[in-house]
Amino acid sequence: MRGYRWIAGLVAGLLLAAPVLADAKPAEKARDQDKTRIKAVTVTRQGGAYCFDRPIVYGNVAIAGGRCYNFYVLRPSTGAFLGFGPPGPPMIPPGQLVRLRTPAGAKTKGRLFYLVPIPLRGITIPIDVIRLVTVQVSSQPGRVVITVPRQGSGESTIERFEHPFTQR
């Protein structure tokens, strides 16, 4: 009986000491990981599409990295969205508005990979429309900023709004 008590005491002592010994190394690893997170996402441009080397996040939407995207603004009755479409030739000619309820609009919306909600200020396109947009993408440590010019007649680049994405 005495042998069992000794073993139980030893096991209890080891269980209490294990978290103290284990906490020393993760702090060093966390410090090293913070240094690697400072690098900015590499953004390249291929034709009219922008390519991200790592994932980016906006709200609860995670955009996959290692891909290229064309950008579209669509405005269904529920709000306005920035759509991430496939690279290559745009699905809609620049400057053309396509109604979402038409076969071309439904096909275009169905080919979008991600829809990110954007504020309605600056969006002057009609409801139930999708349009190809020319955006500006800048990469900064810890975030990517996608700037969408004001939509409407004349497409003024003075009035624009930014969407900061955090990087993963």
Any idea what the Cα angle at residue 158 is, between residues 50 and 40, rounded to 5°?
35
pLDDT at 69: 93
Residue with tokens 């624009």: 160
Q: DSSP label at 123?
A: B
**Cα distance between residue 148 and residue 82, in whole Å:** 9
pLDDT beneath 70, residues of the chain: 1-39, 122-123, 150-164, 167-168
Phi and psi dihedrals of 73, rounded to 5? -110, 130
pLDDT at 25: 53
pLDDT at 5: 64
**Cα distance between residue 1 and residue 81, in whole Å:** 71
pLDDT at 26: 55
pLDDT at 156: 45
Q: What is the largest CA-CA distance in the chain?
A: 90
- Domain range summary for the chain, segments of one domain joined by +: 2-36, 40-167
